Structure 1
């Protein structure tokens, strides 16, 4: 270790305890900002009447989740730490930098999800076999996985929208372990919402984002290695 790399005496972040405290603080701040950014989705989920016909409206309200998720991913990523950005500053920078690109993907993605859920809840009226509901739900799960992968890529790389869309779809099959890990995170998030309320998920969302980011490291590494010019 060189003199410039040696820890500064008295540095509160030196040592395991200091790093742990810094990590907890970053998670806490990012969690609060994430909860604020997805508050419209939480509020709308309470205001919309709990009726099967309103499920597409609840799905459509999830549009606010995309930019918040991207900002949280950026704030918890290595780039923000390497740049020495404070948690709040990193979150706001990630939000401003990626909101446009994220919405370009989330608007059509959420529209497709709303259409799939509307068709599913009205499948009996349509007079088609009930097993079609399983196919529609499977398609919805693929769309959600694709949205998450696309958001992760957008949070750290500046590709064109259609290129990000293709990469996200490509990596669903290219890295099946990552896809399964992401699916497990989504199942956990769904279980939290089902057993409690969306507000609880918003409060503890930063922990799930950190878990998601950990599992997405192979994807980010491969994107950087294969698709980013050095």
Structure 2
């Protein structure tokens, strides 16, 4: 008796390399547009601010919408399948924004406040009587706070933990996953370089790519959390 094969003999729609590339570009463009839309109320005035140290507290306030937007983008990029027949990055973004906005703000706002206090002290160190040798420790603290916040945003976006547990895990994985920490430090350096050489506007225009990079760098941490804590 002749055996009849039921396996597909050809490539399915949306499986080709061009289709996959097209779907990924589409997802990034949609997420980028939504990132700009949700952060525009803060970013637009921020772009008009001069780079005077006296504007640091106001700049910190204007950056508050960035945290929930990044959290929503992380959620959308993590859960969207690169399938041309099932592309819904906008729906995933808004779902991630809705369920993560409170948790993201609880992580993001303290980080922004900490960084603004450190930046003001560094900018006016002579006026506050801060010795020159304090510059290096304060910069290191600022970097540590930012790296911890990056871990916490990823965890908040993808897992349902209490805020204190999110912060514990974020600090824990600074040491537990050194590759993630180094990768995030490189991303932070690249973002700072783009902002210094060009402007915040250029960084905003590649925000979805930066969020995707943050997600890819955090993959080992995500895997360990899923394996050991969920």
Q: Given the two structures, how large is their TM-score scaled by the length of structure 1?
A: 0.90
Moved over 3 A (4+): 5-10, 82-85
Say which structure is richer in helix: 1
Instruction: Give me the whole-angstrom Cα distance separating, in 2, the residues matched to 1:140 and 1:66.
Output: 17
* Secondary structure of 1:126's aligned partner: coil
Query: Can you list the C-alpha shifts for 1:138-180, whole angstroms capped at 9, x where unaligned?
Result: 1111111111110000110000011001100110111111101
1:81 counterpart residue number: 81
* Secondary structure of 1:125's aligned partner: coil
* Secondary structure of 2:81's aligned partner: helix
1:61 counterpart residue number: 62
Offset of residue 10 of structure 1: 6.6
> Which structure: larger Rg?
2
Query: Can you list the C-alpha shifts for 1:172-196, whole angstroms capped at 9, x where unaligned?
Result: 1111111010111111111111111
5+ residue gaps, structure 2? none
Q: Given the two structures, how large is their TM-score scaled by the length of structure 2?
A: 0.90
How do 1:109-188 and structure 2 match up within 5 A? 109-188=111-190
2:92 counterpart residue number: 90
2:196 counterpart residue number: 194
Offset of residue 40 of structure 1: 2.6
Question: Given that residues 7 and 14 in structure 1 are in contact (C-alpha distance below 8 angstroms), is that contact kept between their aligned partners in structure 2?
Answer: no
5+ residue gaps, structure 1? none
Question: Given that residues 69 and 97 in structure 2 are in contact (C-alpha distance below 8 angstroms), is that contact kept between their aligned partners in structure 1?
Answer: yes
Q: Describe the shift of the 1:225–1:126 C-alpha distance in structure 2 as closer, same or farther (beyond 3 A).
A: same
- Count, aligned residues: 224
Question: After alignment, is 126-135 or 140-149 more displaced?
Answer: 126-135
